[in-house]
């Protein structure tokens, strides 16, 4: 290991001073022999050690042997640290390319993907497993996660088609217009970045150049929703679409609800999304029904939509949506936007949306 560390040091030194370049060839020869499982050039190894131990041999000869052992141990630690660092950098870069986040378990921990609500999927992290004493599980989960990321690389090279993932009863912001490309947003009603993306679409005019639809995906961890009332809102949005599809004369109540949530405030000046995330389930449902009435649904229609929220059909649609998001799209970021052959993870800014138009 000492010759490997020496090679790294000599490589750096030779870049700034020609006098070290003669040693670079000997150092590389030693490393190459190590890499091919042959003994290192003992003369080079001894030269390195002698140069490090010579001052100590003069002052304290008895410490030469312990110091020699210490040098070997430090060399091993440096090499292991270097290899681990390369692995972490490589894994993070691969995750960033595939998922738009450095850390699959906690996307928001990566500064390059901070403008998003991360989806907590997969097993617990490496160090958390180590902390629980599960060493085998830690390495098993780590390499399984890496294998999953590598397997997902081809999907990121594909041409993304939003219509492939759209719901069977998809509704479109402002209605469907022939000739416009379809854009699909994956959103959680409680995620503030989803609200910002909605506003960015309107500001950029993206909603006037694309047929924008959505999949509603309440983020959860171990069965607990990230935002308390997101599952309730999701069932209403899904039930509204089912009701409109059955009636054949949709009023677009789902987009009306989303627009209220993402762009407006209540009488107290509090954003409706913030209010919804903190309201009781009863108050949240009452407000959703009030918005439906405001959108033009009569009492009978509101009652039928409320009934649909507990139906098997709506539950099956939400389950299918979750499967599409997690297994087909495999995103780790909310919002995600599929448009113009690409998958955008996290918040998309106004300039990018305007260019897409």
Judged by average pLDDT, the poorest of 105-109, 132-136, 227-231, 293-297 is 105-109
Query: What predicted TM-score, i.e. pTM, was given to this entire model?
Result: 0.72
What per-residue confidence (pLDDT) applies to 244? 94
Quote the domain boundaries for residue 106.
100-156
- Report CA-CA distances (Å) from 122 to 20, 73, 147, 302: 49, 36, 13, 38
Q: What is the mean pLDDT of residues 283-306?
A: 97
> Are 264 and 303 in contact, with CB atoms under 8 Å apart?
no
Average pLDDT, the chain: 81
Based on the fold, state whether residues 170 and 149 are members of the same structural domain.
Answer: no
- pLDDT band for 111, please (50, 70, 90 cuts): very low
pLDDT digits (tens, 9 = 90+) for 53-84: 667 666 777 676 777 777 677 767 766 777 78
Judged by average pLDDT, the poorest of 12-26, 191-205, 249-263 is 12-26
Q: What is the mean pLDDT of residues 15-32?
A: 56
Based on the fold, state whether residues 90 and 116 are members of the same structural domain.
Answer: no
Based on the fold, state whether residues 89 and 152 are members of the same structural domain.
Answer: no
Based on the fold, state whether residues 237 and 186 are members of the same structural domain.
Answer: yes
SS3 280: coil
List CB contacts of 214: < 8 A, sequence separation 6 or more: 184, 185, 186, 187, 258
Distance CA 322, CA 318 (A): 6
Distance CA 2, CA 107 (A): 38
Distance CA 160, CA 165 (A): 9
**Which of 156, 178, 204 is the C-terminal boundary of a domain?**
156
Based on the fold, state whether residues 228 and 181 are members of the same structural domain.
Answer: yes
**Which of 95, 120, 142 is the C-terminal boundary of a domain?**
95
Statement: residue 126 has pLDDT above 80: no
**Which helix H or strand E contains 185, and what residues bound it?**
strand 182-187
> Are 254 and 241 in contact, with CB atoms under 8 Å apart?
yes
Per the structure, the count of domains in the chain is 3
pLDDT digits (tens, 9 = 90+) for 214-233: 999 999 987 899 999 999 99
**Which helix H or strand E contains 129, and what residues bound it?**
helix 126-131
- pLDDT band for 5, please (50, 70, 90 cuts): low
Based on the fold, state whether residues 117 and 21 are members of the same structural domain.
Answer: no
Backbone angles phi, psi at 229, to 5 degrees: -100, 5
Q: What DSSP line would sit under 214-243, residue for residue?
A: EEE---EETTEESSTTHHHHHHHHHHHHHH
Q: What is the mean pLDDT of residues 310-334?
A: 93
Judged by average pLDDT, the poorest of 152-156, 249-253, 288-292 is 152-156
Report residue 155 as tokens.
């999907």
């Amino acid at each position: 290991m000492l010759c490997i560390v020496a090679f790294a040091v000599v490589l750096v030194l030779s870049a700034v001073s020609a006098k070290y370049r003669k040693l670079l060839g000997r150092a590389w020869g030693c490393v190459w022999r190590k890499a091919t499982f042959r003994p290192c050039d003992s003369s080079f190894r001894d030269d390195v050690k002698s140069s490090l131990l010579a001052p100590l041999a003069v002052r304290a000869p008895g410490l030469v042997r312990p110091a020699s052992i210490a040098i070997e141990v430090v060399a091993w630690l440096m090499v292991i640290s270097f290899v681990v660092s390369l692995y972490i950098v490589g894994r993070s870069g691969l995750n960033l390319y595939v998922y738009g986040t450095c850390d699959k378990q906690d996307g928001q921990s990566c500064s390059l993907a901070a403008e998003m609500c991360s989806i907590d999927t997969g097993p617990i992290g490496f160090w958390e497993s180590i902390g629980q004493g599960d060493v085998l599980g830690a390495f098993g989960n780590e390499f399984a996660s890496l294998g999953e990321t590598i397997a997902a690389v081809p999907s990121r090279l594909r041409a993304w088609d939003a219509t492939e993932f759209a719901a069977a009863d998809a509704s479109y912001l402002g209605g469907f217009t022939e000739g416009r490309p379809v854009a699909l947003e994956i959103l959680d009603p409680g995620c503030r970045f989803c609200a910002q993306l909605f506003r960015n679409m309107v500001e950029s005019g993206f909603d006037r150049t694309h047929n924008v639809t959505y999949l509603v995906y309440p983020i959860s961890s171990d069965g607990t929703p990230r935002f308390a009332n997101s599952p309730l809102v999701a069932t209403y949005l899904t039930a509204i679409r089912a009701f409109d599809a059955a009636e054949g004369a949709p009023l677009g109540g789902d987009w009306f609800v989303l627009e209220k949530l993402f762009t407006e405030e209540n009488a107290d000046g509090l954003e409706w999304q913030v209010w919804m995330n903190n309201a009781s389930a009863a108050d949240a449902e009452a407000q959703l029904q009030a918005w439906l009435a405001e959108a033009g649904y009569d009492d009978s229609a509101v009652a039928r939509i409320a009934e649909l929220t507990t139906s098997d059909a709506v539950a099956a649609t939400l389950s299918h949506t979750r499967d599409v998001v997690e297994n087909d799209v495999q995103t780790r970021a909310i919002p995600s936007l599929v448009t113009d052959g690409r998958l955008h993870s996290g918040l998309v800014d106004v300039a990018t949306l305007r260019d897409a138009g």
